[in-house]
């Protein structure tokens, strides 16, 4: 499609990316004076009236989100061959998929400002009744200084379109997987329609854990094992990966709680708790020696990337994000966890039956 004209106004310049729902191209108008990105719905769904209708509805909903941390959606339309598309601003920088894939932990001075910027954008969307429901590293772009990152969240316009096409974390009739099971909240595995703001916050928690620890919070041998662990296991302790990050344990106990009611109630609450935990970690770190004024070292008994000069920031960078002001993280009681375990036992049984049904359906479709 590169070089093609679209709707009599746009020329597709190059492919930026593609996934289960379609492809994204960089485009210009015919005289080359304006630049934008164009998301084109996959031909697989082009003739599905339910998917097309929801595609346009959600693109219009996303266009009403006006926040510097959310990619602007300009308009939706139909190409000459009937393919739905919408135009949006071009993202600069890189996605979180790069740093997370390296499995190299980043210091709190880098991760906390980034996480708070993501939560600020999410809070804006949630206040307007828009839930993302498929937040993952590839949908988070960032650029700028680590202490003041410029963040852009993508694909709000396609969150509900996935339901019409088969659902988040499920396979369509063509075998394409929609959604990313490693990042969607446990309650979405059975029914994506039950997702609310706390589901998005769970996804942010997974990404923050990976960025700080360099590890998958739910390591597993295969996707089915991962889903089972997410539904049954308690939230992981980041101190197991890096003991000097132990003050974050209470934060992740809530952020990655399998029961939505045990999580943070809002993006603002989660952002404040994140900053509070980071303040404890940074305050406990030894002051840098005069000869290494630009390097903040971790306690000598811990392994940490904070000695990497390319990623160092001063303590003031995090203090600038109101680290000292937020309240402390509320600790979940053992009684709450006990109740959650009993509920999860029932949920696991349903999830296992759902997984078996999905496998049988896939085999039947493949055979046909």
What is the C-alpha separation between 70 and 124, in angstroms, rounded? Answer: 9
Helices 334-367, 223-232: axis angle to 10 degrees equals: 150
Residues 6+ apart with CB under 8 A from 307: 295, 297, 298
* Backbone φ, ψ for residue 37 (5° rounding): -110, 145
Of 257, 263, 277, 253, nearest in space to 328 by CA: 277
Catalytic residue among 31, 50, 81, 134: 134
Contact between 171 and 362 under an 8 Å Cβ cutoff? The reply is yes
Contact between 111 and 211 under an 8 Å Cβ cutoff? The reply is yes
> Using CB atoms within 10 A of its CB, is residue 335 exposed (0-12), middle (13-18) or buried (19+)?
exposed
134 given a catalytic annotation = yes
Of 261, 268, 275, nearest in space to 125 by CA: 268
Q: Which residue has the tokens 């191209």?
A: 25
Residues 6+ apart with CB under 8 A from 184: 133, 134, 168, 169, 192, 195, 199, 202, 203
Residues with a known catalytic role: 134
């Amino acid at each position: 499609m590169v070089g093609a004209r679209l709707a009599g106004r746009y020329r597709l310049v190059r492919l930026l990316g593609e996934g289960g729902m379609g492809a994204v191209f960089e485009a210009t108008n015919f005289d080359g004076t304006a630049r934008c990105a164009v998301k084109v719905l996959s031909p697989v769904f082009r003739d599905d009236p339910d998917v097309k209708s929801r595609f346009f509805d959600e693109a219009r909903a996303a266009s009403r989100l006006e926040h510097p941390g959310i990619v602007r959606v300009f308009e939706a339309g139909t190409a000459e061959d009937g393919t739905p598309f919408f135009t949006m601003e071009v993202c600069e920088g890189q996605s979180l998929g790069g740093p997370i894939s390296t499995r190299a932990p980043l210091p709190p001075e880098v991760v906390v400002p980034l996480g708070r910027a993501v939560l600020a954008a999410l809070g804006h969307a949630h206040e307007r009744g828009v839930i993302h429901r498929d937040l993952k590293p590839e949908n988070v772009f960032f650029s700028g200084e680590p202490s003041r990152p410029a963040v852009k969240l993508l694909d709000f316009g396609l969150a509900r379109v996935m339901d019409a096409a088969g659902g988040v974390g499920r396979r369509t009739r063509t075998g394409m997987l929609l959604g990313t099971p490693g990042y969607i909240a446990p309650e979405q595995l059975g029914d994506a329609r039950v997702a609310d703001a706390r589901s998005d916050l769970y996804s942010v928690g997974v990404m923050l854990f990976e960025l700080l620890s360099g590890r998958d919070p739910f390591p597993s041998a295969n996707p089915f094992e991962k889903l089972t662990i997410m539904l049954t296991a308690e939230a992981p302790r980041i101190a197991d990966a890096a003991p000097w990050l132990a003050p974050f344990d209470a934060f992740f106990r809530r952020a990655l709680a399998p029961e939505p009611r045990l999580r943070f109630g809002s993006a603002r609450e989660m952002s404040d708790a994140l900053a509070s935990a980071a303040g404890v970690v940074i305050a406990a770190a030894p002051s840098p020696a005069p000869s290494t004024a630009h390097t903040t070292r971790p306690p000598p008994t811990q392994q940490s990337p904070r000695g990497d000069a390319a990623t160092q920031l001063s303590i003031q960078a995090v203090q600038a994000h109101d680290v000292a002001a937020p309240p402390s993280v509320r600790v979940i009681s053992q009684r709450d966890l006990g109740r959650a375990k009993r509920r999860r036992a029932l949920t696991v049984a349903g999830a296992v039956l759902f997984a078996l049904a999905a496998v049988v359906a896939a085999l039947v479709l493949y055979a046909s």
